[in-house]
Structure 1
Amino acid sequence: MDLRQLEYFVAVAEERNFTRAAQRVHISQSGVSAQIRRLEKELGAELFDRSARSAELTAAGKAALEHARDVLAAAGAVGQAVGEITGLLRGSLSVGMVIGCTVTPLFDALAGFHRAHPGVELSLREDNSDRLVPDVRSGALDMALIGTESEPEDLNSLTILSEPLVAAVPTGHELSGRVSLEDLAAHPVICMPPGTGLRAVFDRACAERGVDPVIALQASAAGAIADLALRGLGVAVLSESMAAAFPELTALPITDATGPALLAITWRPGANVAAREMISHCRKAFRLPSAG
């Protein structure tokens, strides 16, 4: 038997379907079936009950499954260990990034990582923070840059930015100086949609003060929110640095929205070597202290 046969066996067992397993391992269904037949012949037992509608494990298949997983995990660990020793990383690194937030240092970190480890396949996905965090937990993503009101307790995190919310208005708007959430609620509000860290901070502040603002318009990009506010369609709620990027707007401190909006990189405890290397590049790109 070889590792390829064990990989196909595990894929069919987990997918309970030869077609889906073939798609997962990127070969034809007939190729998967042929390799499984060879494995069964070598073991002297059928691993799947092919009379059922789905690919159900036989007693022999159930007995073999965990051992096959252990062998594949051990083979992966051998490659990982060699990669760590030689510095010639292989494999993949999947990174998430909160939607609507162009963060140049993250791109610098990705570029630096790629130059140092060209053998690693990089992928980058934009999404709302409330979907990125569960994907980091599950392993669908190795790490993610998220907007949040607090760092996830069960994940490792590196805070990039912590700053207050502001109300951003065009010149001549009746709001001025320092404003309260109640002042803000007297006007249509333009902000990010639910699922984003900035919106979570704003919603929590309003709930704590018993304020129920009218969310007139929502947009995922700070530029779109600012543009709508400049056209007089409402008061923009942004973080301090977001608002600073639009000098045509005046940023007004919100006196009773005291919880900061955080921008943080998050990853699982015990992350693979590629993720750990990427974290090091992020520390350099964001000019953060090295891990002690």
Structure 2
Amino acid sequence: MTLVQLEYFIEVAEQLNFTQAAKKFYVSQTAVTQQIKSLEKSLKIQLLNRTKHHVALTPAGRVFYNEAKAIIERAKTAVEKTSNASAGSSGSIHIGYIKGYEKTSFSNLIFHFHEKYPNITISFHRDNAENLIEGALKGIYDIVFSLDFKSFHKLKDLKSFSIKSYPLMAVLYSSHPFAHRSSIKRYELKNETFLVMKSQLNTNSENDNQILGEYYENGFIPKVFQASTDFETLFLMVSAGMGICILPEYITRNADITKNTVIVPLEGENEKININVFCNKASSNNCLKIFAEFIENFYA
């Protein structure tokens, strides 16, 4: 039994006409007849009742028709999966992403990617920026979505590109003198105590911090208290009047903000932060190339 025999039989079963079936495959009617006779011989079962002017499926033929179609579909799927694997559109990819970024258009990106490439298995890892970059360098993650620190661009083993910028917002306690303002200039906050996530500070160089770095670059050292590893605790501390924080708009927009806190945008066209994609230049994962190209097109 061959796939060709099955395809010929399926077409005859659907057309109930040897001549029409032969035309589809650009072969002679005799060739189709011979292949089906050979199929019946190998099965030791008659699949078709045929006369000079009439063709009909036998009861066994009707059963075999459904099974033959299933076999052909499985064969096509096997070929497609093998082809996809060879082209890199089948496999796995490990994605790392910054805390809080799961509530942005990131979820739409993943949805559309999985819809287009269902044979690529995706695993997710949520962490702070430093751990994500370290994981990318070690090959733990194929690709990471992270805040953009200057020091990361100095790592020769990484390549990166920016996908989106978000405005920076000041999170204030409700009794703060600026709580009723429509916007705030950064330097109006220079004497504040800043509450920060662990991922907002680079342990090697504080002025690499894209959020607070401008203070350091201009010779002013802000009062910084490394408050927490989660945003909920950060908001709680702000509401208690222990300090303020500056966060990307995507976090303040989607977070469950604690009572007694107020969100005020920072004033100025440069008051924004980039989310970058980072991956290891040495990666041999074909799925990574597919995903990276998909990301660039998605955010274009």
TM-score normalised per structure 1: 0.56
Cα 1:99–1:130, aligned 2, differ >3 Å: closer, same or farther? same
Distance 1:258 1:167 in 2: 14
Question: Could you say which residue in structure 2 is the equivalent of 1:110?
Answer: 110
Shift of 1:174: 1.1
Q: Does 1:263 align with 2:275?
A: yes
Cα 1:194–1:282, aligned 2, differ >3 Å: closer, same or farther? closer
Distance 1:146 1:99 in 2: 9
Shift of 1:123: 1.9
Distance 2:250 2:86 in 1: 41
| Identity fraction in percent | 16
Distance 1:121 1:225 in 2: 34
Cα 1:214–1:270, aligned 2, differ >3 Å: closer, same or farther? closer
Which amino acid in structure 2 is aligned with residue 190 of structure 1?
A: L
Deviations 1:32-52 (A, max 9, x none): xxxxxxxxxxxxxxxxxxxxx
Q: Secondary structure at the match of 1:212?
A: coil
Cα 1:196–1:214, aligned 2, differ >3 Å: closer, same or farther? closer
Shift of 1:147: 0.9
Counterpart mapping for 1:233-272 below 5 A:
233-245=242-254, 249-253=262-266, 258=270, 260-269=272-281, 271=283, 272=285
1:208 to 217, 224, 228: 217
Distance 1:180 1:86 in 2: 50
> Does the 8 A contact of 2:193 with 2:244 survive in 1?
yes
Q: Does 1:188 align with 2:189?
A: no
Distance 2:271 2:104 in 1: 25
Question: Could you say which residue in structure 1 is the equivalent of 2:153?
Answer: 152
Question: Is there any run of 5+ residues in structure 2 with no aligned partner, and where?
Answer: 1-80
Which amino acid in structure 2 is aligned with residue 126 of structure 1?
A: R
Counterpart mapping for 1:27-66 below 5 A:
none
Which amino acid in structure 2 is aligned with residue 167 of structure 1?
A: A
Shift of 1:133: 1.8
Cα 1:104–1:240, aligned 2, differ >3 Å: closer, same or farther? closer
Question: Could you say which residue in structure 2 is the equivalent of 1:121?
Answer: 121
Cα 1:231–1:279, aligned 2, differ >3 Å: closer, same or farther? same
Question: Is there any run of 5+ residues in structure 1 with no aligned partner, and where?
Answer: 1-79
Shift of 1:169: 1.5
Shift of 1:121: 3.5
Shift of 1:261: 1.9
Cα 1:134–1:267, aligned 2, differ >3 Å: closer, same or farther? same
Distance 1:114 1:166 in 2: 32
> Does the 8 A contact of 1:101 with 1:222 survive in 2?
no
Question: Could you say which residue in structure 2 is the equivalent of 1:288?
Answer: 299
> Does the 8 A contact of 1:171 with 1:250 survive in 2?
no
Shift of 1:82: 5.1
Cα 1:124–1:281, aligned 2, differ >3 Å: closer, same or farther? same
TM-score normalised per structure 2: 0.55
Question: Could you say which residue in structure 1 is the equivalent of 2:185?
Answer: 179
Q: Secondary structure at the match of 2:124?
A: strand
Root mean square deviation of aligned Cα? 3.6
Shift of 1:189: 1.8
Cα 1:163–1:149, aligned 2, differ >3 Å: closer, same or farther? farther
Distance 2:95 2:279 in 1: 10
Distance 1:174 1:127 in 2: 34
Q: Secondary structure at the match of 1:158?
A: strand
Counterpart mapping for 1:14-93 below 5 A:
83=84, 85=86, 89-90=90-91, 92-93=92-93
Deviations 1:209-233 (A, max 9, x none): 2222222352334444334323322
Shift of 1:152: 2.7
Distance 1:93 1:273 in 2: 9
Distance 1:274 1:212 in 2: 44
Which amino acid in structure 1 is aligned with residue 286 of structure 2?
A: V
Shift of 1:275: 1.3
Q: Does 1:94 align with 2:94?
A: yes
